[in-house]
Amino acid sequence: MAKGETGSGEPVIIKKYANRRLYNTSSSSYITLDDLARMTREGVEFQVLDAKTGSDITHQILTQIIMEEEANGAEQMLPISFLRQLISMYGNSMQALMPHYLEASMENFQANQRKLQEVFKQSMGGDAFAKMAETNMAMFKAAASAFMPNAEKTTEPTAETSPRQQDDELALLRRQMAEIQKKLDSLGN
């Protein structure tokens, strides 16, 4: 865990007031959701408490940040098919397993991303990172569809790429992933 701004290893306490204002008790200042998003990206641990009741509302605030990022961002990170699959899991008998599965998948994704960045820095140029991000997203989508095999696939080709071009690009990314995996395997030996 990253240390909070307090420097003590304890999470920074953020109080949310009824007027929707967020107060950082560590810096004694009012902050915004954008500030919390920045803190998250920087690895600052924080906990958001309702100022009146004292209840932990961190989950709600983080979800709100994601909703705003998805609504305001130039590119959306969560594909519609994934959102549909996620929503369909609510009330499903597998719902209890889903948080652990998603958390493990994200940790795996981040660990692989760090390893691959090291390999690319050693052997390739900067363009490889963009291709790797596309590959990681394709792998994440495949993992999500594998978890819910009967889910309807809603991805549609864009006006710019035909289904054939998308298949070719995916095949290329798979070959590149296989080559990268070989490099990773050789580094482990």
Per-residue pLDDT of the chain (189 residues; tens, 9 = 90+): 444 455 567 999 999 999 889 999 999 999 999 999 999 999 999 999 999 999 999 999 999 999 998 988 778 888 899 889 889 889 888 888 889 988 999 999 989 988 888 887 777 655 666 777 778 877 777 776 666 555 444 444 455 656 677 777 777 777 777 777 777 777 665
Check residue 155 and give its pLDDT. 47
Q: What is the pTM of this model?
A: 0.57
Q: What is the pLDDT of residue 27?
A: 95
Q: Which long-range contacts (CB under 8 A, 24 or more apart) does 66-69 make?
A: 68/33, 69/37
Q: Which helix (H) or strand (E) holds 55?
A: none
Instruction: Tell me how far apart the terminal alpha carbons of the chain are, to the nearest angstrom.
Output: 29
Q: State the amino acid at position 77 in one-letter form.
A: M
Q: Give yes or no for a contact between 144 and 153, defined as CB atoms under 8 angstroms apart.
A: no
Q: How many CA atoms lie within 13 A of 41 on its CB side?
A: 9
- Specify the pLDDT at position 1: 40
Residue 135: what pLDDT? 80
Tell me how far apart the alpha carbons of residues 6 and 12 are, in angstroms, rounded to a whole number: 6
